[in-house]
Amino acid sequence: MTEAAELPPAPEQAREVFGDRFADAVRYAELLAEAGVQRGLIGPREVPRLWERHLLNCAVLSEVVPDNVTVCDVGSGAGLPGIPLALVRTDLKITLLEPLLRRTTFLTEVVELLGLDHVTVMRGRAEEVMGKIQPVHVVTARAVAPLDRLATWGIPLLRPYGEMLALKGDTAEEELKSASAALSKLGAVETSILHVGEGVVDPTSTVVRVEVGESPGGVRFAAKRAKAARTGRTRRRR
């Protein structure tokens, strides 16, 4: 049996980024390194680089998330980027959306342990929760799927004029080009590639931003959204 890798001490940048929630960030890193590995949520080889590659890489996404908005972290997995984002931004209302039970169980435990009252855990697939979740200002995601497929899941969950922020790697520009037609059909009106975390992570984190117009998801999802809204009103009347 391979010996578990040891979690390195938190780098100085983590104290600056997480501020008064630094101790909670350390506890979260410990949970990922222990229970996260034991339950198969992250690979043991990721433990030595949990801080730089995972927690800080995700926390710096906060640089481009507007103030006081609602956020849905699609395919949240072990809570990346949703939980680091929640630790640095208590002004946000965040939903961690994840289809697998063992992951939502872990996420619920983390949220309760860290006292993240502004975070909700929801089990389900993005394509199944329309009508069950209020449309949000921002959808976040990290390493969930190629951009075109990710957009079909995430964009329909947005409010009009909302945005999807996807943490991507070196393939960001290539993915954005190949997904341009699909994004247009889904109601995207503006796309850009951002680099965040200067002075915190090296290399900086790459974010693909997709901004939508008045019909997130395009015509097909506008009809589904209207139907879901009507169903919701009918249930409330009963």
The binding site for S-adenosyl-L-methionine comprises: 75, 80, 126-127, 142
Q: What is the largest CA-CA distance in the chain?
A: 58
Cis previous bond, 9, omega within 30: no
Radius of gyration of the chain (CA): 18
Q: Could you tell me the two tokens for 62? A: 């906060």
Binding region: 75, 80, 126-127, 142
- Residue 5 burial (CB < 10 Å; 0-12/13-18/19+)? middle
Give CA–CA dist 178/166, Å, rounded.
15
Give CA–CA dist 184/187, Å, rounded.
5
Question: How many Å separate Cα 52 from the centre of its chain?
Answer: 17
Residues near 128 by beta carbon (within 8 Å), at least 6 away in sequence: none
Q: What are phi and psi of 236, to 5 degrees?
A: -65, -35
Question: How many Å separate Cα 94 from the centre of its chain?
Answer: 9
Q: Are 76 and 82 in contact (CB under 8 A)?
A: yes
Q: What are phi and psi of 85, to 5 degrees?
A: -65, -40
Q: Could you tell me the two tokens for 206? A: 């790459």
